[in-house]
Amino acid sequence: MIKRVVDVIIAVLLLICLSLPLIILAVIIKFSSRGPVLYRSDRVGKNNKIFKMYKFRTMRTDTPPVATHLFKEVNQYLTPVGSFLRSFSLDELPQLFNIVSGEMTFVGPRPALFNQDDLIKLRTKKDVHTLIPGVTGWAQVNGRDELPIPVKVEFDEYYLKNKNLILDVKIILLTISKVIRKEGVKH
């Protein structure tokens, strides 16, 4: 309950403080490519319930709905500003709205795509599906997309069994460090 209150307070404060940069990014996205500013991705949330996760659109509208690390040539699908937004994780900022609505939290396992059946099945087997998904998580700071799914789920399970305020703060600080260094970003 305390984590939820803190999530909402911080998310609302960030939305207020970042409102001008968010508007500027939205205008840049709108004028640099056709399509909507926001991309709503079907993701798997707590207890395997599907929800719409918001992101700034970094891919063309004709991009197939699969994880980007599975593309052979992801650059052919990126919008003119997509690579920049992704390299600094700016495309993730609209997830603040998902946090306010209670569909996400700041720290938890990253929500799976609706069609990542292998990941969903393994997370369900390990009870990771009982957690609210996060903007960042233990697997994110330990390898992100480079991790094989079983290893990713091991990190998610570790978080499930050891979650606490200190671990959450550690994950947030590691995330900030990795974003600044662009670590783990391929495109």
Answer yes or no: is 128 within a domain. Answer: yes
Answer yes or no: is 9 within a domain. Answer: yes
Answer yes or no: is 25 within a domain. Answer: yes
Q: For each of the chain's 187 residues, which pLDDT tens digit applies?
A: 889 999 999 999 999 999 999 999 999 999 999 999 999 999 999 999 999 999 999 998 888 777 666 677 777 888 899 989 988 889 999 999 999 999 999 999 999 999 899 999 999 999 999 999 999 999 999 987 788 999 999 999 999 999 999 999 999 999 999 888 877 655 5
Q: Within 10 A of 72 (CB to CB), how many other CB atoms are there?
A: 5
Q: What angle do CA 82, 85, 91 make, to 5 degrees?
A: 100
Task: Show the beta-strand stretches assigned E in 47-143.
Answer: 50-56, 105-107, 112-113, 134-136
What pLDDT was estimated at residue 184? Answer: 61
For residues 42 and 49, give the distance between their C-alpha atoms in angstroms, rounded to a whole number: 10
134 has which bridge partners? 105
Question: Which range marks the domain in which residue 27 is found?
Answer: 2-181
What pLDDT was estimated at residue 180? Answer: 85
Contact by Cβ (8 Å): 156, 120:
no
Answer yes or no: is 63 within a domain. Answer: yes
Contact by Cβ (8 Å): 44, 114:
yes
Task: Locate all alpha helices (DSSP H) within the chain, ordered by sequence.
Answer: 2-17, 19-32, 82-87, 95-101, 117-125, 138-141, 149-162, 165-181
Answer yes or no: is 118 within a domain. Answer: yes
Number of domain units in the chain: 1
For residues 97 and 8, give the distance between their C-alpha atoms in angstroms, rounded to a whole number: 9
Answer yes or no: is 86 within a domain. Answer: yes
